[in-house]
Amino acid sequence: MRAARRLAAARRPFAAALGGLLLLGSGLAQAEDWAYRVRPGDTLWDLGAKHLKVGINWRKLQEYNRIADPYHLPPGSRMQFPIGWLRIEPAKARVVAVRGAVNLLPPAAATPLPAKLVSEGMHIGIGSRLETGPGASATLEFADGSRLLVQDNSSVVFDQLSSYGSTGMVDTRMRLRRGRTLNRVIPAKGPASRYIIDTPSATSSVRGTHFRVSAGDEGAPDATEVLEGKVAVGAGPGQVLLRPGYGTVAAAGAAPAAPIALLPAPSWADADTRLEQLPAVLAWAPVPGAVAYRVEVVRDDAPEVLLFETRTQDTRLRIDDLPAGRQRVRVRAVADNGLGGRDSERSFVVHDLPPPLTISPLDGQRIGLPRPRFEWTLAQGVERTRLQVAADEQFAQPLIDTEVDGQRFRPSLSLPAGKYYWRVASRDAQGRIGRFGNALPFEVSDAPADPGLEAPQAAQGRLTLRWQKGEPGQRYRVQIARKPDFSTLLLEEVVDVPQIELKRPGSGRWYVRVQTVEDDGYAAPFGPSQEIRLPCRLCYGAGAAGAVLLLLAL
């Protein structure tokens, strides 16, 4: 009894300061007892051995509860256990997810120990400090199932991690030195259950809720934002109680601000955006009063496990990569006071289908065809390929967006000269589509490169034209005409080799052009017209041989 009274006296100042904000639902004296409902087979000595700390035996428990017969405990009756009598045991937190570089610094000691790289499954004890780097996060689970998400560039010290034996009550207290956290706290199972986060300027205390806490950087105030349940925030001379949809800020040495309504959730600009296909572009409508937006992607079945996070001032964001699985994206507005608003959320699935390997065009290739052919490989189990071509690397407005059954595609659309990007993704027999591969640049040119052609050869009444060999499978259409508009042809012939031999035409000026014909039948534009001048000595010089310079371009 004396121990219980001392403990109650020690706690009265804190309870009075909160002014009942923790909503314990009963008087302070009753709050110092843990209530237990007797089960069949329970005995006083068994209950004492299970729950009481060393030095307090079952006879004190009998006296406290005015039990006449210690051998007969009616099932269903209630017993009171003073909190100060309960066994207190260490209850380490367990790391359930890690993203990026996260370090664990051990409790301060005479001989400093090196930091450890945090890994999934690791246990964290009292006094340890967890620090996340840029783009890193860690999710911890406490003994009662409550979860803490420590976001990037944050530092948390764990001051108290203990449980009251097997009562289900857990005492969790930590200090957020910098950064941001998301907290999902299991409803309290008894009066001694605590979940408290201290920041440099305020203390947030809860008994089961979903809320965010941030320690302001660079002089910004600390912030608490409540999504579900209620949170009591105390700082300096004052305290406030926050309900869902409200937050508060607290500067050093000042009382927390009166509850402030959080900004509303952003509206999606395009509800039909396919997030399953990566890279994905998110877009949302501006929120009045917002100075920035936070975008996070979490596991759909474990919202405290963070996969991606960023802050942006734009209302459009591209996400390039995510792990396979069912995910959830959430976007919220950030006000100028630092408070984050309500979340807009959407669930989606990222399928683990590898993108095809690309064959052509090659990365950075310059092509003299306005309708280039795209080629790629097919992975096992893939039935179709999605192909996109765009003038911008972000593919905001694709010029070509189609699905192809085979491994090659030539568009019906002619691309003007310029720089383009192309990418492909796989779709399997179940209709699931994977992420796009890297965007590869290529260039369409209207000035084909010089093929390095040879001079025409004239001998014994014949004229031979040769040009540089193209790709395997290509053929060549040759036209010769008297006029540069090729309105009247002397010759038009398709050959399989880069050469043609014909009877010498008459003297004067002749015009020649060559067109490449691909193996799929696509005919590229004719190369530039070339002029040949044939003097009379070539026309009548029997047995004579001569050479005239000719530059033909494919």
273 falls within a domain: no
Cβ neighbours of residue 320 closer than 8 Å, sequence gap 6 or more = 278, 279
In a domain, 436, yes or no: yes
The number of domains in the chain is: 5
Task: Please give the Cα distance from 213 to 5 (Å, whole number).
Answer: 34
Q: Is residue 515 part of a domain?
A: yes
| Alpha-carbon gap, residue 231 to 246, rounded angstroms | 10
pLDDT of residue 184: 95
* Domain endpoint, select from 421, 444, 467: 444
Residue 60 φ then ψ, to 5°: -65, -40
266 within a domain of the structure (yes/no) = no
Residues 96 and 230 in one domain: yes
Q: Are 9 and 28 in contact (CB under 8 A)?
A: no
3-state secondary structure of 127: coil
For residue 6, give the CATH number of its domain: 3.10.350.10
32 touches 84 (CB < 8 A): yes
Q: Which residue has the tokens 């994206």?
A: 329
Left if phi > 0, otherwise alpha if psi is -120 to 50, otherwise beta: which for 422? beta
Find the domain containing 106 and state its range: 89-261
- For residue 466, being part of any structural domain is answered with yes
Among 320, 350, 380, identify where a domain stops. 350
Same domain, 79 and 99: no
- Check whether residue 223 and residue 342 sit in a common domain: no
Q: Locate tokens 């944050």: which residue?
A: 154
Tokens linked to 499:
């050469």
- Tokens encoding 34: 């843990």
254 and 218: one domain? yes
Last residue of a domain, one of 411, 444, 477: 444
CATH of residue 108's domain is 2.60.120.1440
Q: Specify if 267 maps to a domain.
A: no
132 in Cβ contact with 301 (< 8 Å):
no
End-to-end CA distance of the chain: 102
For residue 459 the two structure tokens come to 């001998």
Does residue 80 sit in the same domain as residue 107?
A: no
> Which amino acid belongs to residue 334?
V
- Give the whole-angstrom CA distance, residue 21 versus residue 231: 8
Examine the domain organization and report whether 331 and 289 are in the same domain: yes
Does residue 112 sit in the same domain as residue 241?
yes
Q: What is the number of other CB atoms lying within 10 angstroms of the CB of residue 102?
A: 23
The pTM of the full predicted model, rounded to 2 decimals, is: 0.70
Asked if 77 and 192 sit in the same domain, the reply is no
Reading the chain (554 residues) residue by residue, the pLDDT tens digits are 344 344 334 333 333 333 333 333 333 334 478 889 999 888 898 898 889 988 898 999 999 999 988 888 988 899 999 988 998 899 999 999 999 999 998 886 545 556 789 999 999 999 999 999 999 999 999 999 999 999 999 999 999 999 998 888 999 999 999 999 999 999 988 888 899 999 998 899 988 899 999 997 666 789 999 999 999 999 877 899 999 999 999 988 788 999 999 999 999 987 666 677 888 889 999 999 999 999 999 999 999 999 999 999 999 998 988 888 999 999 999 999 999 999 999 999 998 888 888 888 988 889 888 999 999 988 778 899 999 999 999 898 899 999 999 889 999 989 999 999 999 999 998 888 988 988 999 999 886 544 444 556 655 667 777 776 777 888 889 888 888 889 888 889 999 888 888 877 777 788 888 888 888 888 888 877 777 777 664 444 433 333 343 434 34
Note whether 125 and 9 are same-domain residues. Answer: no
